[in-house]
Structure 1
């Protein structure tokens, strides 16, 4: 199947709901994922993140609404070939313990019609060359996670679904993982990244989708979400030696001897006033990070996530949390 053009979404969910008997797992979820875009999917445990991934993979049907992947219903027979363009890493990876790492990748490579030559390169990429001929039962949790990443990357997929991909990875492996994500994105892959570990994620995503209780709370780029939330900006200074608390212009925003918390709309005015101070040695402006944005939207009532109920929806422009 040919890859979609830039104007056509790789993934599209429209009015999607999922119910199990009397339990509602998702309600009225709408979003699109475009070629070469990385979307962060955030929410507490049980928010519906994994359900969204299962719908995209065609593992379960939607109760209402429409799911399209590469322009097709992922449950249709026509979607079979398209699945070879999809890479998936579940939250809890599991492999046949008696197989070696190399044998595991060979198995998945045959399923996706990927040449064997790619296997050793992937094992090297995730740092498992030294253990590729050892049985998986001897692998640590982090090594199993690396092997899971390798199988997800098989065949240079055009769509990657990564559920808690950095669990069990040390800081260096995490950095290498995000380098791989950036590389795949530069090659045109579309990625949905679900993570509880928010620090370090924001520089690798283009947009965020925040859900709670199966309902959409907010979607958009981090800058758009900050603007919508009107979260204050932290301004840190050096060299003023306590002068801030002596100046009535700054005392309403003072949260530390050298730090201000300023509303977004007043940021430029305050900065202009600060740079006029002779003692100022340095100034650093820090907008709300992803974790603060996430906490802001999570604190809102899920019932206000629908249109007609003051829905927070940002259009597409183109730590550990439990």
Structure 2
């Protein structure tokens, strides 16, 4: 199956600044990729190239089998920016009906699309009365017009409350299950950690790491943290058994070890039996991994 998005050794310069340095990646149908990077890392430049908004200097880009910006690519791609803007005098329904007409789709789909993003109750209110989160959901409804094969989302949950964010990712899960490829740029690392298939980390215009979260954890080889709660009255015994542990005011013992040492350390803890009341194993977070690869590139 041909990938929905293919980028091969993509380069882009702005004067003396090399914004993208031989970036290569693929994104298959139904896959969700999180594009991470600091401000100025090249994320916006890459998305603009994918959308056909700016040219590139070297390499190759294929969007749904076509050149970015071509009529066939535009018909298959939808984009949601961080800050959407709509005419404040139009209602949500009127705005969607207008965009549906522009895309050659039936305006009657407006209410269905607004229902999918949780805005059916406000469909006939003027957008000028909407909160930022509601306007963001209008933008998301707009991206669903025509069942795009590729969604490009730039900080899409900006302004959404926690419940709306959960509903948003549930909607993305459904779209991916239907075969839509999703490229999502976000600074909210805790959000994307569990709701994307692949992680792409840009730093200084270069793709410094990419893969599934488990693969990046293995490559980063960051330490694993273990939190041990002693049984009542058994804290001194545990401190004696684990002199390398640090004790906090919450009564927990904190241990750290390399990935390869995790199972032996768990075996040592389990051997203590009733002296241990509880145990939590905390792997490196996506934020830890992102910091590791970005810092490595800077060095």
CA contact (8 A) 1:237 1:259 kept: yes
Inter-partner Cα distance in structure 1 for 2:295 and 2:243: 28
Q: Where in structure 1 are there 5+ consecutive unaligned residues?
A: 305-322
2:78 alignment partner in structure 1: 87
Deviations 1:3-27 (A, max 9, x none): xx2xx21101111111122222211
Is the CA contact 1:41–1:209 (under 8 Å) kept in the aligned structure 2? yes
Following the alignment from structure 1 to structure 2, what is the Cα–Cα distance between the partners of residues 153 and 53?
18
Do 1:9 and 1:34's aligned partners in 2 also have CA atoms closer than 8 Å?
yes
Aligned equivalent of 2:294, options 292, 298, 311: 298
Pick from 14, 19, 27: which aligns with 2:13? 19
CA distance 1:255–1:10, shift in 2 (3 Å): farther
Where do residues 139-288 of structure 1 align in structure 2 (5 Å cutoff)? 139-240=130-231, 241-242=234-235, 243-247=237-241, 250-254=242-246, 256=248, 257-278=252-273, 279-288=275-284
CA distance in 1, matches of 2:73, 2:296: 38
Distance 1:114 1:251 in 2: 68
Q: Which residue of 2 aligns with 1:308?
A: none
- SS state of the match for residue 210, structure 1? strand
**Aligned residue runs from structure 1 range 93-104, under 5 A:** 93-104=84-95
CA contact (8 A) 2:31 2:180 kept: yes
Q: Output one character per residue of 1:167-223: Cα deviation in whole Å (capped at 9) or x when no partner.
A: 000011001000001111111111011111111211111111111221221111111
Q: Could you say what secondary structure the match of 1:300 adopts?
A: helix
Tell me what 2:41 maps to.
47
| Residues in 1 aligned to 2:258 and 2:141: alpha-carbon distance in whole angstroms | 44
Whole-angstrom distance in 2 between the partners of 1:189 and 1:255 = 48
Aligned pairs, how many? 292
Q: Distance in 1 between matches of 2:183 and 2:204?
A: 19
Unaligned residue ranges in structure 2 (runs of 5+): none
Matched, 1:106 2:100: no
User: Structure 2 CA distance, aligned partners of 1:46 and 1:99?
Assistant: 35
Aligned to 2:191, the other structure's residue is in SS state coil
How far apart, in 1, do the equivalents of 2:108 and 2:283 lie?
45
- 3-state DSSP of counterpart to 1:151: helix
* Number of the residue aligned with 2:59: 65
SS at match of 1:28: strand
How far 1:251 sits from its partner (Å)?
A: 3.0
User: Matched residue of 1:66: which SS?
Assistant: strand
TM-score normalised to the size of structure 1? Answer: 0.86
What is the aligned-residue RMSD (CA, Å)? 1.7
- CA offset digits 1:270-302 (Å, max 9, x no partner): 011111112223322221111111111121234
SS at match of 2:175: helix
SS of 1:142's partner is helix
Mapped contact 2:98–2:107 kept (Cα < 8 A): no
Normalised by the size of structure 2, how large is the TM-score? 0.92
